[in-house]
Amino acid sequence: MNLIGFAQTFFDDPTRWSGADGVPARLAEHVEYSLLALAIAMLIALPVGLLTGHTGRGGNALAALATAARALPSFGLLVLLTIMMGLGLTPVMVPLVALAVPPILVTTYEAMRGVDPALVDAARGMGLPWARVLWQVELPVALPLILSGIRSAAVQIVSTATIAAYVSFGGLGRYIVDGLSQVRYDKVVGGAVLVAGLALATLGVFWILGKALVSPGVRRSR
d(CA 113, CA 90): 34
pLDDT of residue 87: 76
pLDDT of residue 166: 82
Q: Is 150 left (phi over 0), alpha (psi -120 to 50) or beta?
A: alpha
pLDDT tens digits, 128-163: 776 777 777 777 888 889 999 999 999 999 999 888
pLDDT of residue 147: 93
pLDDT tens sequence for the chain (222 residues) = 677 888 888 888 888 888 888 889 999 999 999 999 999 999 999 998 888 887 777 667 777 777 676 666 776 777 777 778 777 788 888 889 988 998 999 899 888 888 777 777 677 777 677 677 777 777 788 888 999 999 999 999 999 988 888 887 888 989 998 888 888 888 999 999 999 999 999 999 999 988 887 766 555 555
d(CA 47, CA 40): 12
pLDDT of residue 151: 95
The 3-state secondary structure of the chain, one letter per residue? CCHHHHHHHHHHCHHHHCCCCCHHHHHHHHHHHHHHHHHHHHHHHHHHHHHHHHHCCCHHHHHHHHHHHHCCCHHHHHHHHHHHHCCCHHHHHHHHHHHHHHHHHHHHHHHHHCCCHHHHHHHHHCCCCHHHHHHHHHHHHHHHHHHHHHHHHHHHHHHHHHHHHHHCCCCCHHHHHHHHHHCCHHHHHHHHHHHHHHHHHHHHHHHHHHHHHCCHHHHHHC
Residue 80 belongs to what H/E stretch? helix 74-85
Residue 109 belongs to what H/E stretch? helix 89-113
Question: What's the mean per-residue pLDDT of the chain?
Answer: 83
